[in-house]
């Protein structure tokens, strides 16, 4: 089993890298707008677009993680009969969601 198989987002890796590359370009575009003294509200519109793109990425990663964590924790619970690993994974995921909700 490779590391690649461990994380749920790996099959979509190329898509995530493309989206993050685009976000990086958007942030650079915002810097350019600031540098060129563009209108504040137009800059804020671009900031909102970056926020929105980041939210989409984080929801995708979260969905991949839940799918993986569900499968792995299901497997472990099936063999060990204990829900300790599941509870820890769920707590960890909920805390990540909480940080995304701020």
State the residues that interact with a copy of itself by CB under 8 A: 3-4, 6-10, 13, 16-17, 20-21, 23-24, 27-28, 30-31, 34-35, 37-41, 43-45, 47-48, 50-52, 54-55, 57-59, 61-71, 73-75, 77-78, 83, 86-87, 89-94, 96-102
Residues 6+ apart with CB under 8 A from 67: 8
- Report in angstroms how near the CB of residue 8 gets to a copy of itself at its nearest: 7
Least distance in angstroms from the C-beta of 101 to a copy of itself:
6
Closest CB 100 distance from a copy of itself, rounded Å: 5
Residues whose CB is less than 8 angstroms from the CB of residue 65 and which lie 6 or more positions away in sequence, other chains included: 7, 8, 9, 93, 96
Whole-number Å distance between alpha carbons of 34 and 40:
8
Query: Minimum Å distance from CB 93 to a copy of itself?
Result: 6
Provide the 10 A C-beta neighbour count for residue 12. Answer: 15
């Amino acid at each position: 089993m490779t590391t690649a198989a461990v994380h749920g987002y790996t099959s979509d890796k190329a898509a995530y890298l493309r989206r993050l590359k685009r976000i990086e370009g958007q942030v650079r575009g915002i810097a350019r707008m600031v540098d060129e003294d563009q209108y504040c509200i137009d800059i804020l519109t671009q900031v909102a677009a970056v926020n929105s793109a980041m939210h989409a990425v984080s929801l995708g990663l979260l969905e991949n993680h839940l799918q993986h964590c569900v499968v792995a924790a299901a497997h472990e619970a099936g063999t060990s009969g204990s829900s300790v690993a599941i509870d820890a994974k769920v707590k960890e995921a909920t805390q990540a969601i909480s940080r995304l909700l701020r």
